[in-house]
């Protein structure tokens, strides 16, 4: 049974069970409570796996078995588990947001700021904000204020107008060449 990772014939499963028992003995609590406690302290899944001395894959399997949430965003790089936080993330936290993602959502949706305004508030280049902006809230003319958007639409409408009959470059206009 090659696919039976929990079977008695799988030595890796025996090592995982031994590590599970060792963690419960060390902390004096069930493994589920240990993992939830570490997460409630603000640790990333990567940090939790490191604290328990298991790989992220093993922790993922344990989360499935224990019924803990499996969020796809958990696999993203967690800046809080690194010593040097990016400037944009650090500035978002200084402004009181839990993460850059939350800051972008709040500033773009609730405060209705443009990407340039968000970049100025965070003190970063607008390309950084654009790169981290969730796709659903970018918009087509995302870098324009309402006034600039209206001016751009007006210019586009004017560009579609036909040329006047007395334009100097028209071939049939004799007045321009007298």
Name every residue whose Cβ is closer than 8 Å to that of residue 133 and which is 6 or more positions away in sequence.
104, 108, 115, 142
In tens digits, what is the pLDDT along the chain, a chain of 178 residues?
345 555 667 777 788 888 889 999 998 999 999 998 888 887 778 888 888 988 888 888 888 888 887 765 554 445 444 556 788 888 898 899 988 889 998 988 888 888 888 999 999 988 888 888 887 777 654 556 677 778 878 887 777 666 565 555 655 555 545 5
Residue 2, pLDDT score = 46
> Alpha carbon of 88 to those of 41, 52, 81, 95: distances in Å?
23, 30, 16, 11
Instruction: Report the C-alpha gap between 97 and 101 in whole angstroms.
Output: 9
pTM of the model: 0.40
Residue 73, pLDDT score = 59
Residue 83, pLDDT score = 57
Measured from the Cβ of residue 99, the count of other Cβ atoms closer than 10 Å reads: 14
Contact of 97 with 69, CB cutoff 8 Å = no
Residue 166, pLDDT score = 59
Instruction: Report the C-alpha gap between 127 and 88 in whole angstroms.
Output: 11
Residue 25, pLDDT score = 92
């Amino acid at each position: 049974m090659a696919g039976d990772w929990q079977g008695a014939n799988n030595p890796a499963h025996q090592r995982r069970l031994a590590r599970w028992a060792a963690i419960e003995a060390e902390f004096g609590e069930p493994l589920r409570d240990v993992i939830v406690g570490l997460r409630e302290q603000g640790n990333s899944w990567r940090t939790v796996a490191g604290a328990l001395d298991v790989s992220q894959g093993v922790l993922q399997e344990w989360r499935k078995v224990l019924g803990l949430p499996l969020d796809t965003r958990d696999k993203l790089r967690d800046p809080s588990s690194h010593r040097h936080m990016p400037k944009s993330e650090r500035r978002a936290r200084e402004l009181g947001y839990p993460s850059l993602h939350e800051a972008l959502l709040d500033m773009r949706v609730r405060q209705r700021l443009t990407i340039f305004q968000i970049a100025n508030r965070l003190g970063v280049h607008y390309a950084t904000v654009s790169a981290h902006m969730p796709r659903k809230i970018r918009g087509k003319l995302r870098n324009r204020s309402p006034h600039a958007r209206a001016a751009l639409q007006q210019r586009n409408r004017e560009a579609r107008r036909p040329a006047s009959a007395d334009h100097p470059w028209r071939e049939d206009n004799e007045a321009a060449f007298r």
